[in-house]
A = this chain, B = another copy of it.
Amino acid sequence: MFTRETAPNVLSPEQEQILHEQAMRILQEIGTDVLHEGAKDLLKRNGQDVDGDRVRWDEAFVEEMVARAPSSFRVLGRNPERSITIGEGAQVWANVGGPPFASDLDEGRRSGRIQDHDALVKLTQATDVLACVQSGAVEAVDLPHWTRHLDMDYSVLRFSDKPYTCYGTSGPKARDAIAMAAIVHGGRDAIERTPVTMGVVNSNSPLVWDFRMADALIAWAEANQPIIVTPFLLAGATAPVSVAGGLAQQVAETLSGVALAQAVRPGVPCLYGSFFTATDMRTGSPAFGTPESVVAVLAGAQLARRYGLPFRGGGALASSNAPDAQAMSEALMMMWATVLAGTDFVLHAAGWLEGGLTASFEKFALDLEILAWLRRIMERGIGFSEEELAFDALAELGPGGLFLESSHTMTHFRDWLSMSPVFTTPDHGSWEAQGSPTADVRANARWKKLLESYEDPGLDEAVDEELRAYIDKRKAEPPEDEE
């Protein structure tokens, strides 16, 4: 249930076409700024109109380039059995990434530390519902700014054997990520043959490809690692305050990024990325879960299908300051949209709080419960075996019987009923006797138990040494000038 095939078409064919045409008009008439000489040279050689930093893109070129991108691709896991395929129906979910703060009920909110990062990686490794790890799960603010990307990517490579998205907010960082991935996965040639990591690029909306992002995009394209091209659109801030206006801008920015990547390396996997939400005009902060953000995910997925690109969007996004009723209302609005849209790849599916400023351990545990439910709905459907139809069980009990202690119930309830360790149903008296714990309190116990269950996948000692040597060497070098 809830696949790409059943995703609702929230845009009519005419509306799809209008958005496409407006996106092409944006690229041709307004154009984008591209603050990267190499990229501009390449685009110029490909016949694009380059005037200073402004690039005006030709529709035929953009469409030709986008057509080069595959509709699906595989990402190899360090454990090959954990490899993932993106774009063929299965929805791949990954943990939160990017917050400068971490929080849990024990220590409260604090700047992110590498130990928090390690813990989030281990939690992602330990749970079945997340098939992919995101590096930068929380920013390791306790480590030096210029080199902490090395430590965060190492955290992923050391503590998880799942496919991952690497850190890479600039070209040098993306190149480090590629070098480290190559060390672990048998060299650069090997990872160019089959990707092992993915990178996220955000245009500087509206309509700017800044040096860092363009440079990272080029690095990943050259290495044939999949690129998640995601304009970061806040309606009324970095995009128009209307959904249709934001979608046209999204298409323009995403396709120009994909076109640049394909010009660098034909066939490099690219995702159509959607991150489009409302701005709370009272505070200037992003507001998640609103109708605009829900509709935008559904429409974004439809546009990705139009262009034959796998879709990245949605997530358990929430604006709330606490893992409370607001946080889960917002997260469920977004995750239902994500699931309905048949989304191929989902970042921030667990742990995102406070508009992305905080990686919350309790929110992480709460999200996992939702993800497990949604996964079960998608994969399981309704069983129609004789035992599940249960005519005999009903006939045996007859009118007025009680199934609670029937052998049919006792035999099957563990397999057929979902019982959550976090969402519980004690009677009111028992609950009060426990101290009236709200769900965040149980979520606190839950993530700790999940962390205890973590099993170290190990890392070959020689590989580990080579990785560490690379990191040490890079830390000894002077910081690169990135701009």
Contacts and interface: CB of A to CB of B under 8 A. Distances in A.
A10 interface: yes
A109 B207 contact: no
Interface stretch (A139-147, A213-221, A306-314, A383-391): A383-391
A77 interface: no
Contacts of A391: 22, 25-26, 245, 248
Nearest to A402: B237
B332 A245 contact: no
Interface residues of A, number: 124
B423 A373 contact: no
B326 A324 contact: no
Interface in A247-270: 247-249
A439 B326 contact: yes
A287 B426 CA distance: 11
Interface stretch (A57-65, A157-165, A289-297, A343-351): A289-297
A417 interface: yes
A121 B393 CA distance: 42
A278 B376 CA distance: 14
Interface in A379-420: 380-384, 387-391, 393-395, 397-404, 408-409, 412-413, 416-420
B381 A438 contact: no
A239 interface: yes
Interface of A: 1-2, 6, 8, 10-11, 15, 18, 22, 25-26, 29-33, 54, 101, 109, 204, 206-208, 235-245, 247-249, 278-287, 289-292, 294-295, 299, 319-330, 332-333, 336, 340, 354-355, 357-358, 366, 369-370, 373, 376-377, 380-384, 387-391, 393-395, 397-404, 408-409, 412-413, 416-420, 422-428, 431, 436, 438-440, 442-443
25 contacts: A6-B8, A15-B384, A109-B428, A208-B399, A240-B390, A240-B394, A241-B390, A243-B382, A245-B391, A248-B389, A280-B417, A284-B404, A287-B423, A290-B373, A294-B373, A295-B377, A295-B382, A299-B382, A319-B423, A320-B439, A322-B439, A325-B438, A325-B440, A326-B423, A330-B423
